[in-house]
Amino acid sequence: MFLPPRSLFARSNCSCCRFWPLLSLLILLGTLPLHAQDNGLENPGFEDGVNGWVIKDSMSAISAEAFHDGKNGLRISDNDAKAGSAALSARYKVEAGATLKLGFWERSDKPGFLGVYLYFYDANDQLINDPAQRAGAGHPVCGAKEGDGQWHFYTLSTQAPAGAASVALWIHSFGAAVGVADVDDFSLSGIGEKSATQEPASAPKSVATAAPVELPPRKAPPKIIIKVDDLRQIDGKVNGLWIKFANFIKSRQIKANIGIIAETLEIATPEYAGWIKEQQATGRFEFWLHGWDHQTHVEDGKTYNEFDHRSYEDQKKRFERSQQAARDKLGFPFHTFGPPGGAPTASFDAQTIQVMQDDPDMKVWLYPTPIDAAGKQLAAKGKVVVLDRVYAVNIEGKVGVPEYENFVAGYAKNPDREYFFIQGHPMHWTPDRFDNFVKIIDFLISQNAEFVLASEYAAQMGK
């Protein structure tokens, strides 16, 4: 793919650039705050070649065909479907908390082809990764969104994070992208003089350097069913880890689904049952059935999970006893089921499927695997909605251990999936692990995810 010379391009009239002449005028008239006209970058339009830039990757090159203004620009020719380009600016001193304003021109034949990242470094030249930044990239990113072959002007305003001592621009075509883009006439305000260190050890030097996780565009934000397992009464009480979990959900004004092991409901204290009812009344929680006792059982020397290798009558009784205890102590039956595990074998069998079909209150199955033939057959009967798993998108990497990076990587690979139910075990969450859970949720919030109750969501799907 090759872009024709500039003369063939009409000047864009998209909304992002329409006001640029006006903006320039305002700057000239001095009616904008001083910072808006500052440009601390050396050689911002590549007129002096590579001065002020660190361009070592094979995809980026100064080119006389790539100019927006002047005689040079930077052309990125990316024909690698896995790696992206990696041109870096010099580094400039910056103060934590300072407001930085980035602007640049870009044209390409692909929408969402590249982004310009602000890489902040601390006083020890280490790259600062801020998990609150969008796209999981850990750095503020200004993505060039258009892809119509016209020049567009893009801007980003951001604050230097705590601990920041210097900043560089990283111009990067996204890993999966293939095509050509030109960038030119950068401006960056809010920065100090050029920093002595130009190329720290942690700077990306080549296209082989792992890029931050890039999120392909989604048609719509995802629906998220937070599924947490194993609530039961201990010494007549609700464990503090559950209270911490529920308080966090409420503090973020989101929703979650808590799986109850029903056996202790029969002996529920007013404190335990009262806490559940209180959470339920907020409208932010659905309590669902996670088995009667969650115990494995042994037959002929083999260990089976609670709902595997048991008769229909036995399994039916486990549901009925659980529903009765829920009605008696909580005032409502369960509408959603997720089978307990424990043994590395199946967590349900054909009898369980029949019980789900027969239990009058059961409407939703948090299916422990990706959908299969048995799940499809049950769903086709129309009574039970089967919500299935995407293994790669889960709170916990190993059972009991929330893993943020792992989550974002899996999420990035599933842009077409409408919903995810993501599973966790708060009783295993030490403070460090809980922090990782919080990072995952805050990342999803930044993605405009909608957190839903399993029953509510299933009812929408059913329509």
Give whichever of 113 and 319 is closer to Zn ion, judged by the CB atom: 319
Give whichever of 230 and 349 is closer to Zn ion, judged by the CB atom: 230
Give whichever of 260 and 458 is closer to Zn ion, judged by the CB atom: 260
Give whichever of 52 and 342 is closer to Zn ion, judged by the CB atom: 342
What's the closest the beta carbon of residue 144 comes to Zn ion, in angstroms?
Answer: 46
Residues 212-231 that bind Zn ion (CB under 5 A): 229-230
- With CB atoms as reference, the residue minimizing the distance to Zn ion is 229
Give whichever of 214 and 229 is closer to Zn ion, judged by the CB atom: 229
Nearest to 226 by CA among 408, 456, 452: 452
What's the closest the beta carbon of residue 438 comes to Zn ion, in angstroms?
Answer: 22
Give whichever of 290 and 439 is closer to Zn ion, judged by the CB atom: 290
Q: Can you list the alpha helix ranges (DSSP code H) found in 166-309?
A: 240-251, 270-281
**Rounded distance between C-alpha atoms, residue 4 and residue 261, angstroms:** 66
Q: Under a CB-based contact definition with an 8 Å cutoff, are residues 184 and 101 in contact?
A: no
Nearest to 190 by CA among 37, 292, 302: 37
What's the closest the beta carbon of residue 428 comes to Zn ion, in angstroms?
Answer: 11
What tokens were used for 313? 């009558």
Give whichever of 338 and 410 is closer to Zn ion, judged by the CB atom: 338
What's the closest the beta carbon of residue 294 comes to Zn ion, in angstroms?
Answer: 6
What's the closest the beta carbon of residue 205 comes to Zn ion, in angstroms?
Answer: 46
Containing 26, the helix (H) or strand (E) segment is helix 20-29
Residues 296-317 as b or e (16 or more Cβ within 10 Å = b)? ebeeeeeebbbbbbbeeeebbe
Q: Are strands 302-304 and 297-299 parallel, antiparallel or unpaired?
A: antiparallel
**Rounded distance between C-alpha atoms, residue 69 and residue 48, angstroms:** 13
What's the closest the beta carbon of residue 339 comes to Zn ion, in angstroms?
Answer: 9
**Rounded distance between C-alpha atoms, residue 389 and residue 376, angstroms:** 13
Q: Is 105 left (phi over 0), alpha (psi -120 to 50) or beta?
A: beta
What's the closest the beta carbon of residue 260 comes to Zn ion, in angstroms?
Answer: 10
Nearest to 129 by CA among 162, 97, 157, 101: 162
Residues 228-287 that bind Zn ion (CB under 5 A): 229-230
Here's the x/- map for Zn ion, 324-363, by CB under 5 A: it reads as ----------------x-----------------------
Q: Please report how the helices 270-281 and 312-330 are oriented relative to each other, as an axis angle in degrees rounded to 10.
A: 80
What's the closest the beta carbon of residue 272 comes to Zn ion, in angstroms?
Answer: 18
Give whichever of 146 and 230 is closer to Zn ion, judged by the CB atom: 230
Containing 108, the helix (H) or strand (E) segment is strand 99-108
The site that binds Zn ion (CB under 5 A) totals a number of residues, namely 3
Q: Please report how the helices 240-251 and 431-446 are oriented relative to each other, as an axis angle in degrees rounded to 10.
A: 20
Contact call for residue 396 and Zn ion (CB under 5 A): no
Q: Which residues bind Zn ion (CB under 5 A)?
A: 229-230, 340
